[in-house]
Amino acid sequence: MLDLALEPPVVNTAPGPEYDDGVRVGNMIIGIERTPKGRLWACWVGNGDSPNGFFMLATSDDGGAKWSKPRVVIDPTDPSNAPQRRALVGNLWTDPSGRLWLFFDQSLGYFDGRCGDWYMTCENPDADEPTWSKPVRFADGCTLNKPTVLSNGDWLLPVSLWTRDRIGPAILKDAHHDLDPIRMANVFASTDQGKTWTRRGGVAFPETDFDEHMIVELRDGRLWMLARTKKGISESFSTDAGRMWSQPQTSAIQNVSARFFIRRLVSGNLLLVKNGPIDVRLPRRSSMMAFLSDDDGKTWGRGLLLDDRAEVSYPDGLQAPDGLIHILYDWNRHTDAEIMLAKFREEDVRAGKFVSPGARPRMLVNKARAPVVPKSIRPDAKWAARASGDAKQDRSSVPYDGVKPNSMVCDTTLRELPDGTWILFILAGGDTEPSPLNYTGVTRSTDQGRTWTPLERFDVGFPREGKTIGQGPTELMVRDGRCTLFFSTHSKHWANDWRSWFLTSDDSFKTWGKPQEVPGRLRERTFIRNHIVTRDGRIMLPFQHYVGPDDQRDRAPLDRDFTNPRNGVLISGDGGKTWAEHGDIRLTPNDRYFGWAENNIVELGDGRIVMIIRADGLGGVLYRAESKDGGRTWPEFASITQVPNPGSKATLYPLGGDAVAMLHNPNSRHRSPLALWISFDGMRTWPYQRVLHKESCDGPKGRINYPDGFVSKDRQWLHFAFDDNRHRAVHYSAKLPPLP
């Protein structure tokens, strides 16, 4: 059985519909190459980084604008009752003579302790029907990065033989001990243009993490090897063409544990592509950036941001004869599953933005479109059955249509007042948001949402002073018989005069006091959409704060209108008389990232405060930050979750202890459906999942937005409102399950 991996796989040059995008989940980048006549070849792994991965190759004859369906597939098939084989690691390379090489590995399961490095070559990669040689196995291990051609004509190929802790199937834990001496970042060499390959040397990097090493020949003749480790990037040098290597050291180039790309350009400069700034190790694979060095890696320029989203990884690239650089990478390989292409020149990297002819970021090469739900958030069968029963007890939704035709309705806030009536605040007016025509509308119900009063303007009493002042989102806190309404004001669509205010009422909003500004720097460009009262009686308000639009524009990597919103909480321990600001949480290091954070917080049973954050364009998921000391300190960066979200407000509701309910759009691309999810373990898993509305009243293209509400005192119902495609408000009551 062990030798099944030594048998060559079948090379499928006429892939059928079983490999179409619509039936495939997961896409992991392998590599990209250009042929002598200009055709681009791209390779990625179908099913992503998994034991059932397989290679797929496609072509583009127009510079990457359009791509063919898969033209070649390497998908090892297995005899009955035999271990599964897969192809997972490799790359494409055009050698100096114009031949196209495909390196790939084959293993039993994810890693069988030996793996196997194979290659195929294509002599006519520009032909209508390219022909490939038979696969040749030439080494134990695998190759992820391209060969380096030395000045003396030798070809050096990075080949990694992974350490034993990577071995997957338990039955193989004791196999292949004879290879233990060369479990390292090996260097294979060819002195006859690829006819034969022999191991020349290698480096055993401490705390290796797949190695994924690359080799650059420096101007002084030394070879510089960089490799991935669990702590980032390590480096080693050779003065004898790769036979002996120096003791590995931590590199000054910092990186998350992930593949990077480094290559000598025609100009003689070095190109480096990695996640984040040169000297920063990010907490995750975000912010793909390109850098140039004209002194053999001693110093690097400020860089060009290629993609500021989370989960962008594994760059590989080439440089065309006209100087245009192509970088292929993947985004969210197991959910959105997109293979992306960025094109730019050295002048773009120096400018810090895409300025040259033909330079373009984020070009889509391929997308696996089969639906997939991460295992960690799949509904539990028991709770799915419970959700079905609860759905039969939901109260009918009551749409509120008391606004003028074509007038906007959005951003609902629903609460029960001290006198037992319900109040619903709605952002209304104008035809868009934000607009100087926006105002806060109010409607009330005395029969638990069955009927509502006509919508009225909630007059906060601001003097107009000859100009139109719009109002923004609201948040209502009901505590000890007092109601506190938080809201914002502005003049133009994106003016610099955004302010946040609050006013109070002691008689269920029959009357209310004059507005007061929210304290501190938060009065500017701040939006408050949630609050909690902690068990020790403190009031906590999450906020987002923008620095822009014009501050620090010159030193930002992209020309955007706003700077990265910071997230945190305001805490008051004296009933709202004084406030202290805590936290400066970011989603991405890119200071020109812009998104409505719309953060929401909840207190868990052990006192931890958990914040969820909307993240526009950063992976199609929610982000999360956690404070372990009651909201006083927070991490610098939020972490990515596996909860899908299209860039829309989600709301949390404590149910006691570690039980939390969440209303949100569980879709990474569109604001539908509207769903209720419940976690019983502090938001680690979400076993109870129920779709409340499949789509808007306006059909699949309509949006179900911004749910907000409250849990009944007996914790049997979740009463909330939402806006339906920005033109009507809807009240809904969902039956809650009993706690386990």
The mean pLDDT of 217-245, rounded to a whole number, is 98
Name the one residue in this structure whose structure tokens are 């009262």.
533
Q: Answer yes or no: is pLDDT of 337 > 70.
A: yes
Of the pLDDT bands very low, low, confident and very high (cuts 50, 70, 90), residue 501 is confident
Which architecture, in CATH terms, is 2-7+18-367?
6 Propeller (2.120)
Q: Answer yes or no: is pLDDT of 698 > 90.
A: no
Terminal CA-to-CA distance of the chain, rounded, Å?
47
Q: Which residues partner with 568 through β-bridges?
A: 543
Q: Strand order of the sheet with strand 185-190?
A: 148-149, 155-160, 185-190, 198-203
Map out the domains of the chain as residue ranges. Answer: 2-7+18-367, 394-735
Q: Answer yes or no: is pLDDT of 530 > 80.
A: yes
Please count the helices (runs of H) and the strands (runs of E) in the chain.
Answer: 2, 53
- For the stretch 140-171, pLDDT in tens is 999 999 999 999 999 999 999 999 998 876 67
When mean pLDDT is compared across 282-296, 390-404, 447-461, the lowest value belongs to 390-404
CA 551/CA 565 separation, integer angstroms: 13
CA 59/CA 40 separation, integer angstroms: 5
The mean pLDDT of 94-101, rounded to a whole number, is 98
Same fold across 2-7+18-367 and 394-735: yes
CA 625/CA 403 separation, integer angstroms: 38
Q: Answer yes or no: is pLDDT of 317 > 70.
A: yes
Of the pLDDT bands very low, low, confident and very high (cuts 50, 70, 90), residue 549 is very low
Phi, psi of 344 (to 5 degrees): -165, 170
- Can you list the positions of beta strands (E) in 140-207? 148-149, 155-160, 185-190, 198-203
pLDDT of residue 348: 98
CA 726/CA 740 separation, integer angstroms: 37
Q: Which amino acid, 693?
A: H
The DSSP symbol for 209 reads E
Specify the 3-state DSSP secondary structure of 6.
helix
On whether the CB atoms of residues 724 and 702 are closer than 8 A, the answer is yes
- For the stretch 375-396, pLDDT in tens is 678 899 999 999 999 999 998 7
Of the pLDDT bands very low, low, confident and very high (cuts 50, 70, 90), residue 467 is low
Of the pLDDT bands very low, low, confident and very high (cuts 50, 70, 90), residue 435 is confident
Q: Which amino acid, 41?
A: W
Of the pLDDT bands very low, low, confident and very high (cuts 50, 70, 90), residue 509 is very high
Instruction: Report the chain's mean pLDDT, rounded to a whole number.
Output: 90
Q: Which residues partner with 398 through β-bridges?
A: 731
Q: Which amino acid, 619?
A: G
pLDDT of residue 539: 94
CA 602/CA 613 separation, integer angstroms: 12
The mean pLDDT of 679-706, rounded to a whole number, is 92
Residue 726 burial (CB < 10 Å; 0-12/13-18/19+)?
A: buried
Q: Answer yes or no: is pLDDT of 547 > 70.
A: no
When mean pLDDT is compared across 94-103, 109-118, 391-400, 414-423, the lowest value belongs to 391-400
Cα separation values, 136 from 118, 121, 185, 371, Å: 5, 10, 21, 36
In Å, how far from its chain's centre is CA 537?
A: 36
Q: Of the candidates 514, 530, 622, which has an alpha carbon nearest to the alpha carbon of residue 570?
A: 530
- For the stretch 16-30, pLDDT in tens is 998 999 888 889 999
Of the pLDDT bands very low, low, confident and very high (cuts 50, 70, 90), residue 404 is low
Residue 578 burial (CB < 10 Å; 0-12/13-18/19+)?
A: exposed
pLDDT of residue 393: 93
Specify the 3-state DSSP secondary structure of 304.
strand
- Can you list the positions of beta strands (E) in 128-196? 136-139, 148-149, 155-160, 185-190
pLDDT of residue 556: 35
The fold for domain 394-735 equals Neuraminidase (2.120.10)
Q: Of the candidates 617, 614, 672, which has an alpha carbon nearest to the alpha carbon of residue 643?
A: 614
Select the more confidently predicted residue: 400 or 296. Answer: 296
CA 370/CA 375 separation, integer angstroms: 15
CA 76/CA 7 separation, integer angstroms: 10
Q: Of the candidates 459, 403, 402, 455, which has an alpha carbon nearest to the alpha carbon of residue 430?
A: 403
Query: Two tokens at 73?
Result: 């597939």
Of the pLDDT bands very low, low, confident and very high (cuts 50, 70, 90), residue 526 is low
CA 87/CA 522 separation, integer angstroms: 53
Q: Answer yes or no: is pLDDT of 109 > 50.
A: yes
DSSP-assigned letters across all residues of 26-64? -EEEEEEEE-TTS-EEEEEEET-SSTT-EEEEEEESSTT
The DSSP symbol for 322 reads T
CA 550/CA 546 separation, integer angstroms: 11
Q: Is the peptide bond before 673 cis (omega within 30 degrees of 0)?
A: yes
- For the stretch 583-632, pLDDT in tens is 989 888 776 676 788 899 999 999 999 999 998 878 788 999 999 999 99
The mean pLDDT of 513-538, rounded to a whole number, is 79
Cα separation values, 517 from 375, 430, 431, 525, Å: 45, 25, 27, 12
CA 424/CA 10 separation, integer angstroms: 64
| CA torsion angle 206 212 217 218 (round to 10) | -60
- pTM confidence score: 0.83
- For the stretch 594-605, pLDDT in tens is 678 889 999 999
